[in-house]
Amino acid sequence: MKPQMAYDRAITVFSPDGRLFQVEYAREAVKRGTTTVGIKFVDGVALIVDKRITSRLIEPVSIEKIFRIDDHIGCATSGLVADARVLVDRARIDAQINRITYDEKIQVKTLVKRICDFKQTYTQYG
Protein backbone atom coordinates (compact mmCIF):
# COMPACT_ATOMS: atom_id res chain seq x y z
CA MET A 1 0.00 0.00 0.00
CA LYS A 2 1.29 3.46 -0.91
CA PRO A 3 2.19 5.70 2.05
CA GLN A 4 -0.16 8.36 0.69
CA MET A 5 -3.16 6.04 1.21
CA ALA A 6 -3.22 6.60 4.98
CA TYR A 7 -3.81 10.33 4.42
CA ASP A 8 -5.79 10.01 1.21
CA ARG A 9 -9.21 9.33 2.70
CA ALA A 10 -9.07 11.57 5.74
CA ILE A 11 -10.46 15.01 5.03
CA THR A 12 -8.57 17.00 7.67
CA VAL A 13 -5.48 14.87 8.29
CA PHE A 14 -2.24 16.28 6.92
CA SER A 15 0.32 14.03 5.27
CA PRO A 16 3.88 14.14 6.69
CA ASP A 17 4.84 16.71 4.04
CA GLY A 18 1.91 18.98 5.03
CA ARG A 19 -0.54 18.18 2.24
CA LEU A 20 -4.30 17.67 2.40
CA PHE A 21 -4.97 15.28 -0.45
CA GLN A 22 -8.74 15.76 -0.38
CA VAL A 23 -8.24 19.51 -0.87
CA GLU A 24 -5.94 18.81 -3.80
CA TYR A 25 -8.58 16.53 -5.34
CA ALA A 26 -11.17 19.28 -4.90
CA ARG A 27 -8.89 21.76 -6.67
CA GLU A 28 -8.56 19.37 -9.60
CA ALA A 29 -12.36 19.11 -9.79
CA VAL A 30 -12.61 22.92 -9.85
CA LYS A 31 -10.24 23.06 -12.82
CA ARG A 32 -12.72 20.94 -14.79
CA GLY A 33 -15.57 23.39 -14.16
CA THR A 34 -16.79 25.84 -16.77
CA THR A 35 -16.41 29.61 -16.66
CA THR A 36 -18.89 31.61 -14.61
CA VAL A 37 -18.84 35.42 -14.41
CA GLY A 38 -20.81 37.91 -12.36
CA ILE A 39 -20.68 41.63 -13.15
CA LYS A 40 -22.15 44.28 -10.86
CA PHE A 41 -23.62 47.43 -12.40
CA VAL A 42 -25.17 50.51 -10.80
CA ASP A 43 -28.69 49.26 -11.60
CA GLY A 44 -28.21 45.50 -11.30
CA VAL A 45 -26.02 42.53 -12.14
CA ALA A 46 -25.26 40.26 -15.07
CA LEU A 47 -24.64 36.56 -14.48
CA ILE A 48 -22.95 34.73 -17.36
CA VAL A 49 -22.24 30.99 -17.51
CA ASP A 50 -20.63 28.63 -20.00
CA LYS A 51 -23.08 25.79 -20.68
CA ARG A 52 -20.57 23.48 -22.28
CA ILE A 53 -22.09 20.28 -23.65
CA THR A 54 -19.80 17.33 -22.84
CA SER A 55 -21.94 14.58 -24.36
CA ARG A 56 -24.41 14.17 -27.20
CA LEU A 57 -26.76 12.63 -24.64
CA ILE A 58 -27.14 15.94 -22.79
CA GLU A 59 -30.03 18.17 -23.81
CA PRO A 60 -28.74 21.79 -23.72
CA VAL A 61 -31.99 23.19 -22.28
CA SER A 62 -31.69 20.80 -19.31
CA ILE A 63 -28.53 22.47 -18.01
CA GLU A 64 -29.32 24.96 -15.24
CA LYS A 65 -26.49 27.06 -13.89
CA ILE A 66 -28.23 30.32 -12.93
CA PHE A 67 -30.63 30.21 -9.99
CA ARG A 68 -32.89 32.60 -8.13
CA ILE A 69 -32.21 32.32 -4.40
CA ASP A 70 -34.61 35.05 -3.23
CA ASP A 71 -36.27 38.15 -4.70
CA HIS A 72 -32.99 40.06 -4.47
CA ILE A 73 -30.35 37.31 -4.79
CA GLY A 74 -29.28 35.29 -7.81
CA CYS A 75 -26.58 32.66 -8.12
CA ALA A 76 -24.42 31.40 -10.99
CA THR A 77 -22.73 28.03 -10.55
CA SER A 78 -19.80 26.11 -11.95
CA GLY A 79 -18.48 22.66 -11.16
CA LEU A 80 -20.42 19.59 -10.13
CA VAL A 81 -24.15 20.11 -10.66
CA ALA A 82 -25.10 17.95 -7.66
CA ASP A 83 -22.92 20.03 -5.32
CA ALA A 84 -24.34 23.25 -6.75
CA ARG A 85 -27.92 22.09 -6.21
CA VAL A 86 -27.23 21.26 -2.57
CA LEU A 87 -25.75 24.73 -1.99
CA VAL A 88 -28.56 26.49 -3.89
CA ASP A 89 -31.19 24.61 -1.88
CA ARG A 90 -29.40 25.47 1.36
CA ALA A 91 -29.17 29.15 0.36
CA ARG A 92 -32.88 29.23 -0.45
CA ILE A 93 -33.76 27.67 2.90
CA ASP A 94 -31.54 30.13 4.80
CA ALA A 95 -33.11 33.05 2.92
CA GLN A 96 -36.62 31.80 3.72
CA ILE A 97 -35.81 31.21 7.39
CA ASN A 98 -34.45 34.75 7.67
CA ARG A 99 -37.55 36.20 6.00
CA ILE A 100 -39.91 34.25 8.29
CA THR A 101 -37.91 34.91 11.47
CA TYR A 102 -37.09 38.60 10.98
CA ASP A 103 -39.69 39.64 8.36
CA GLU A 104 -36.96 41.04 6.11
CA LYS A 105 -34.74 40.00 3.22
CA ILE A 106 -31.47 38.35 4.14
CA GLN A 107 -28.35 40.41 3.48
CA VAL A 108 -26.08 38.93 0.82
CA LYS A 109 -23.10 39.07 3.20
CA THR A 110 -25.05 37.11 5.83
CA LEU A 111 -26.12 34.46 3.34
CA VAL A 112 -22.57 34.07 2.01
CA LYS A 113 -21.26 33.55 5.55
CA ARG A 114 -23.93 30.91 6.26
CA ILE A 115 -23.14 29.02 3.06
CA CYS A 116 -19.40 29.18 3.81
CA ASP A 117 -20.03 27.83 7.32
CA PHE A 118 -22.15 25.04 5.81
CA LYS A 119 -19.36 24.13 3.38
CA GLN A 120 -16.72 24.27 6.13
CA THR A 121 -18.74 21.82 8.22
CA TYR A 122 -18.70 19.33 5.35
CA THR A 123 -14.98 19.93 4.82
CA GLN A 124 -14.26 18.99 8.41
CA TYR A 125 -16.79 16.25 9.04
CA GLY A 126 -17.60 14.99 5.53
CB-based burial, 89-107: b 16+ in 10 Å, e otherwise: ebbbebbeebeeeeeeebe
Q: What share of the chain is helix, strand, coil (3-state, %, to 5)?
A: 45, 15, 35
Tell me which of 12, 34, 36, 101 is the catalytic residue: 34
**Is 34 a known active-site residue?**
yes
Chain centre distance of CA 53: 20
Q: How many CB atoms lie within 10 A of CB 82?
A: 7
Q: Rounded to whole angstroms, how far apart are CA atoms 55 and 81?
A: 15
Which residues participate in catalysis according to the annotation? 34
